Amino acid sequence: MRITRVLGTALLALGLAAGPAAADSSPSASPSDDAPTEAGTSFRTATEIEQGQRATATGSTGDYLYWSFAADAGQRPTVRAKVKLPESHASQTWQIDVYDGLRRRQACQYGAQTRTVTQGASFVELACVLRTVRAWSEPWANDPLPGTYYIRLTAVGLPVSDLGLPIDAEVRVDSKDIGGAAAVDGSLAQPLTPGIAAASGKPDGDDEDGKKPAVLSGIEPDGGWSSGWWSDRWVWTGAGGVLAALAGIGGYALTRGSGRPSRVPPGV
């Protein structure tokens, strides 16, 4: 009974310790009131948005619309887009692509990345669930890494009669925090964001002309970029070690018997 009480107390303490850690690691979306109302036309002019923020833009069929957002290690971003189509149009195919900070196209795990709508449809919805962002990866791999990600929305294979028709688009990015299940040993020296090399190359922050170096991206996750070494797997590793020690103590207490045997022969 004493061993059972000890094990129960230890499990309760581990549960209380792991609970806040899991809650702290969950992503926190903080939508802003001043949501962007326009989109860029290239990677360099992509409109910056925050996760959990709904961004809108007006454009024309045939345009390329660009947005950018920040994703950190352990997050699995989901990009959603909705396009309101003109009242009169032919059959159209819309596509959403996501690129990382190196402008490498990232494959979607699942989701309707490309969708064809019939003539007269009022809107089209697209979605792309990316792979989990890793804190570090081999140079030859195409794994998602912490940094800036670009969203490109466009219509492909448009008939000539539909070019230039007005459309309204909106995008939103949300992330699920995978946590220790996606943790790896190692981290990047700097996140893959535009201008990070120029910003970190000058310790004093000025160039030869005394001007600040251009930083093309000012977005980052809430609380800054993660350090790359801490994850909730440390909590569960410690919990597993404590449980193993308690199991060893309990097994020893159950199998040790009542002590050394008596030297007096039985029946004497």
Angle at 117 between CA 115 and CA 122, to 5 degrees: 120
Looking at residue 27, what is its pLDDT? 38
C-alpha–C-alpha distance, residues 176 and 128, integer Å: 13
C-alpha–C-alpha distance, residues 174 and 54, integer Å: 10
Looking at residue 29, what is its pLDDT? 41
Looking at residue 2, what is its pLDDT? 44
Looking at residue 220, what is its pLDDT? 75
Q: Return averaged pLDDT per consecutive 10 residues of the chain, 268 residues in all.
A: 45 43 39 78 93 94 95 92 92 95 92 92 95 85 91 92 93 86 69 66 49 55 65 72 89 76 64
The pLDDT tens digits for 35-75 are: 899 999 999 999 999 999 999 999 999 999 999 999 988 89
The count of residues in the chain is: 268
Looking at residue 261, what is its pLDDT? 63
Looking at residue 1, what is its pLDDT? 41
The pLDDT tens digits for 87-119 are: 888 999 999 999 998 899 999 999 999 999 999
Neighbouring-strand partners of residue 68: 48, 150
Tell me which amino acid residue 153 is: L
Running DSSP on this structure, what letter comes out for residue 19? H
C-alpha–C-alpha distance, residues 86 and 68, integer Å: 26
Tell me which amino acid residue 131 is: R
Looking at residue 250, what is its pLDDT? 86
Looking at residue 155, what is its pLDDT? 94
The three-state secondary structure class of 254 is: helix
Q: Token pair of 247, please?
A: 């199991």
